[in-house]
Amino acid sequence: MHRRILERAALACASLAALGGLVGAGCGGTVVFDAPDPKACGLGHGCPMAGCACGDGSVILDTTCELGECLPLEKVCADRCEAFEGAVVAFGTPDDVVPIPNCDTFCSRVLVNGCELGCETLFSECVPPTTCDQAAASFWQCVTEEAVLSCVDNAVRVERCDATALGLCQDDQAGE
């Protein structure tokens, strides 16, 4: 009886070892990339940040960089706004260095509202703007002080700000 138990235990151990070998060899022996956004590009990618005004009045902010490529603004906005009555307006920054007033506050709000990657999901660097027209200044003040922010597939959705005032500030020192 004791011998039979030992044989079964040895057989069970062998089966588990074989199963472990199969699991380790799954997916062609590759390791699954387990990151918050496996399509995300690294910092310094150079691609613009997209601002997308959607038909429901919300605004979605996201990078145009996906799998190392800069996608067209219109494609990014059409995709991001699809579930929110489609894209109405698409705009973007010249590159991944973005001038936003109160950037620290904005980035803190992004993290607090559940965006795992924080502002890194939008741009590589945030700089204080040197100029900002009134509409853009009002929009970003709303974003940093009053908006409801949420994450949708690692993009930032902005609600309760006037999407018609959507705009970007300028960094006149960029490229110097």
Q: Is residue 7 part of a domain?
A: no
Least confident of 59-68, 118-127, 155-164, 166-175: 166-175
pLDDT of 54 higher than 50: yes
Domain membership flag for residue 26: no
pLDDT band, very low/low/confident/very high, at 4 (cuts 50, 70, 90): very low
Q: Is residue 23 part of a domain?
A: no
Position 172 in a domain: no
Confirm whether 6 is domain-assigned: no
Mean pLDDT of the chain: 80
Q: Residue 66 falls within a domain, yes or no? A: yes
Which residues are registered as beta bridge partners of 51?
61, 91
Residue 142 lies in a domain: yes
Is the per-residue pLDDT at 126 higher than 90?
yes
Over residues 65-91, mean pLDDT: 95
pLDDT value at residue 33:
39
Q: Check if the beta carbon of residue 60 is closer than 8 Å to that of residue 81.
A: yes
Q: Is 42 contained in some domain?
A: no
pLDDT band of residue 144 (cuts 50, 70, 90) is: very high
- Locate 2 and state its tokens: 């004791």
Which domain, by its residues, includes 155? 49-165
Number of folded domains in the chain? 1
The answer to whether 90 and 99 have CB atoms below 8 angstroms apart is no
